[in-house]
Structure 1
Amino acid sequence: MKILIIGGGLGGLTAAIALRQRGFAVDVHEAAAQLEETGAGLTLGIGAQHVFRALSIQADVAARACPAGTLPFLHYRTARLLMGAPDEGNGLPDDGAANIVRHIYRADLQTVLIATAKALGAKILTGRRLIGFEDHGDGVTAQFENGDTAHGDVLIGADGLRSAVRAQLWPGDTPRFTDHVAYRFLVPRAEAAPFMGLGRSAIFIGPQRTFNRYTMCGGEIVNCAGLAETQEAIAEGWSIPASTDELRAAFDGWHPDVMGLIDRAQSIIKWGLYDRAPLPQWAQGRVTLLGDAAHAMLPFLGMGAAMAIEDGYVLARAFAEETDPAAALARYEAARKPRTELVHQMSIRQGQVTQAIDPDTFEPASAPMNNRDMMEFDPVTAPI
């Protein structure tokens, strides 16, 4: 059986690895001219750690990551501890054995996934921007902007928030702007040091704002992300520049550590945060969705990457159980749709809790991230 994966992101590459390990032929078609290692820091939830361990790449991933610690939530002005505990970690990698959340530079994770997929014989083709597909009943043909076509038994749309696959499956369904803008920037350790006295990681919360910062790359880089509610429609993407003055204004009056890091930002990018309304179903015929294409969500739980990675692994489990493609896609969707819808809903709720008008009323027990069953889910052993 040959499986076409549209999109070479984290979920698509994970699916390619898991499917190849089970003997399936896999072609990954990526729209970009080069499968570049891009992005800033990200959080790898425990579900993702289980997947990496099952794929025998956990040691490689952990060697480029670091334990996320206790995720301390701090008052935006005073830095009073609201939830968690101070993060006393040193930012260095561990051996990957523990079932814990980790932080990693997205480019480092992509490096591992790309190398593993290629070593297993997955074909990764770039410059393949999908413009349409045809389900013949006994197979699928994908058409690309450059005139190329590809044929397979199944097509998986892992092509992100603005998925071309989803657009054809569900015409008129569009991403929803969530009235939030995200700012991202990196600061070298030496320059960030005066503003890191509160520990390796910290999440400052205040009125309609969140500022998260943590070290990565062996402690050499501090990844900073500020989320703010806004009435201004902001485009989605990774290429919109923002000025220091704009970011300072968004977090005016916040703790000196926040403002100090902002002042040392070398390059700030911003993008609007969009999500997708849950679909009544993901699959039609021999085509389905994966990752953000199926369930793009807000980042307040830090679970978006983990959801795509979990999807990729469970998809391969389903195909290992079913010889009929339609049955495999149905099994995959039945396993993943309820979980991703719960995390989608709880990501919205977590944002409401952490961006309360008065952080002095913050109630840790009400934070969805304290739901251990949800946060520590194991997609490797869970029934499908």
Structure 2
Amino acid sequence: MTENVLIVGAGIGGLTAALALHGQGIDVTVIERTDLRPLGVGINLLPHAVRELYALGLGDALARQSVAPTAIAYYDTDGTLLFREPRGIDGGYGYPQYSVHRGRLQALLLAALRDRLGASAVRSNTELTAVTATTNGVRAQTSAGAIDAAVLVGADGIHSTVRKLLHPGPDPLLWSGVRMFRGAAEGEPFLDGRMMSIVKGANGVDLVVYPIGGGLINWVVMLPEADPGPLPGDAKWNKPGDRAEVLRHVEQWRLGWLDAADLVRRTDPVLEYPMVDRDPLPWWGQGRVTLLGDAAHPMYPVGANGGSQAIVDAAVLAEELASDSWNCGLRRYENRRRPETLRVVEANREMHRAGASRRPDELARVTADYRVRTAADKVRS
């Protein structure tokens, strides 16, 4: 094993990075400020991210816990099909797309990491407070004491401490004006049992619904309520949501293939979260410190790309650190990934702005443009 890389954050990006670095023969330690409880609701992984998880030997385990969507289909509130686009293997990709419970995915990654590196590879309840450069790398001050490492990777999410240390100036959360209500509940299969569906309601209200394995159906209702701008207050992803507010918009829908109001009523808890991102950074890293995932490029969750981009970040970081010196590897990683993720952030914003249409030709144009701008049809070789 080579020198140690310290990863701050045990989310999907951080754990995948640890597995990828270990696979390249690089010693790694992960710290996480919480007690590592697998939480959350559904997440979609695009084929370019699934490819990287297969490369880490996790394909079979992921498939057992997930649903592979055959298509994404758009509907009106009376159940009329507006537009359908095949996904994953059915869409001609070399790898499937997977829908999975975020907590189960995190638990899978955590179990694999502990199995391969040992339980001590992940230190929970350890919060980063400061980082200083040393002769041979960095010294991280944490709530459990100092940790010396050759490289530090900030994979600590949208409220990243590492990002704040690197970029202490103004860096506000930017709100789209949409509030997302979400949850997961047990439910009978709908349509073909593997469909990801988006219902286009009035006044920009959308319902996104799809199975995530284990008999669970994940749903997100997006409610426009303000003009875009800096977010007043904080963004807490596990904040309880107002079920009655969601029902007010969906209880008159008659889809035929799904009772949306019943699904919402049976969900506990209902969560809410503002659809936010941040302006892209001019640079990610400095010296032996860099960023990854939402810490580097938080984006609107409109293209199933946030978690997927973090996974690709992890694979590229490991590849570059294994092929070059620490400093050159970090710069090569950033030079490859920052332009690519910038395009995704911008494409997600544009897709959100164009997403109110119910016209089939416009839906087809928007989805095709998104694939081109994000290079979604290209799986990294």
Normalised by the size of structure 1, how large is the TM-score?
0.88
1:350-365 equivalences in 2 (<5 Å): 350-356=351-357, 362-365=362-365
Q: Is it true that 1:49 corresponds to 2:50 in the alignment?
A: yes
Is 2:164 the counterpart of 1:167? yes
For residues 203 and 295 of structure 1, the distance between their equivalents in structure 2, rounded to whole angstroms, comes to 25
| Number of residue pairs the alignment of both structures matches | 363
Tell me, in whole angstroms, the C-alpha distance in 2 between the residues paired with 1:64 and 1:372.
30
Identify which of 320, 323, 335 aligns with 1:318.
320
Give a deviation string over 1:217-260, Cα, whole Å, max 9, x none. 24x11111112222295742233212321112344654453333
Please tell me whether the aligned partners of residues 176 and 274 of structure 1 are also in contact (alpha carbons under 8 angstroms). Answer: yes
Amino acid at match of 1:82: L
- The answer as to whether partners of 2:68 and 2:194 remain within 8 angstroms in 1 is no
Q: Distance in 2 between matches of 1:252 and 1:131?
A: 47
Q: Residues 105 and 216 of structure 1 are in contact (CA less than 8 Å); yes or no, is this contact kept in structure 2?
A: yes
1:334 to 2:331 alignment: no
What SS does the corresponding residue of 1:68 show, helix, strand or coil? coil
Matched-pair contact (CA < 8 Å) for 1:3–1:152: yes
The 8 Å contact of residues 10 and 110 in structure 1, kept in 2 or not, is answered as: yes
Task: Name the SS of the counterpart of 2:49 in structure 1.
Answer: helix
The range that moved more, 343-352 or 288-297, is 343-352
Amino acid at match of 1:261: L
Q: How does 1:1-384 map to 2 (within 5 A)?
A: 1-32=3-34, 34-75=35-76, 77-84=77-84, 99-121=95-117, 123-144=121-142, 146-172=143-169, 173-190=171-188, 196-197=190-191, 200-201=194-195, 202-206=197-201, 207-218=203-214, 220-231=215-226, 233=232, 235-251=234-250, 253-256=252-255, 257-322=259-324, 324-356=325-357, 362-367=362-367, 368-371=369-372, 374-379=375-380, 381=381
Which amino acid in 2 is paired with 1:242? G
Map of 1:93 onto structure 2:
none
User: Which deviates more, 174-183 or 12-21?
Assistant: 174-183
Deviation per CA, 1:193-215, whole angstroms, max 9, x where unpaired? 6xx35854311123322211111
Partner Cα separation in structure 1 for residue 374 and residue 301 of structure 2: 19
**Aligned to 2:117, what secondary structure does the other structure show?**
coil
Q: Structure 1 residues 345, 85: CA separation in 2 closer, same or farther (over 3 Å shift)?
A: closer
Secondary structure of the structure 2 residue equivalent to 1:83: strand
Structure 1 residues 35, 270: CA separation in 2 closer, same or farther (over 3 Å shift)?
same
**Does the aligned pair in 2 maintain the 1:5–1:28 contact within 8 Å?**
yes
CA deviation string 1:3-56 (max 9, x = no partner): 000000000001100111111110101010x21111111101011111012111
1:69–1:180 distance in 2 versus 1, CA, 3 Å = same
1:370 Cα shift? 4.1
Question: Percent identity between the aligned chains?
Answer: 28
Q: Is the 8 A contact 2:182 2:221 kept in 1?
A: yes
Deviation at 1:174, TM superposition (A): 3.0
Cα deviation, residue 321, structure 1: 0.9
Alignment partners' CA distance in 2, 1:98 and 1:60: 18
Q: CA deviation at 1:265?
A: 2.6
Indicate conservation of the 8 Å contact 1:182/1:273, yes or no.
Answer: yes
- In structure 2, the gaps of 5 or more residues are none
* Aligned-residue CA RMSD (Å): 2.5
Cα 1:360–1:59 change in 2 (3 A) is: closer
- Find the residue that maps to 2:296 and give its secondary structure: helix
Q: 1:318 to 1:86 in 2, by over 3 A?
A: closer
Shift in CA distance, 211/17, structure 1 to aligned 2, threshold 3 Å: same
SS in 2 for 1:185: strand
| Alpha-carbon distance change, 200 to 285 in structure 1, aligned in 2, over 3 angstroms | same
Cα pair 1:181 1:270 within 8 Å, conserved: yes
Query: What code does the residue aligned with 1:40 have?
Result: V
Q: 2:316 is paired with a residue of what secondary structure? A: helix
Answer whether contact 2:347 2:373 (CA < 8 A) is retained. no
2-structure distance, mates of 1:285, 1:166 = 14
Rate the CA distance shift 1:198–1:81 in 2: closer, same or farther, 3 A: farther
TM-score (norm 2): 0.88
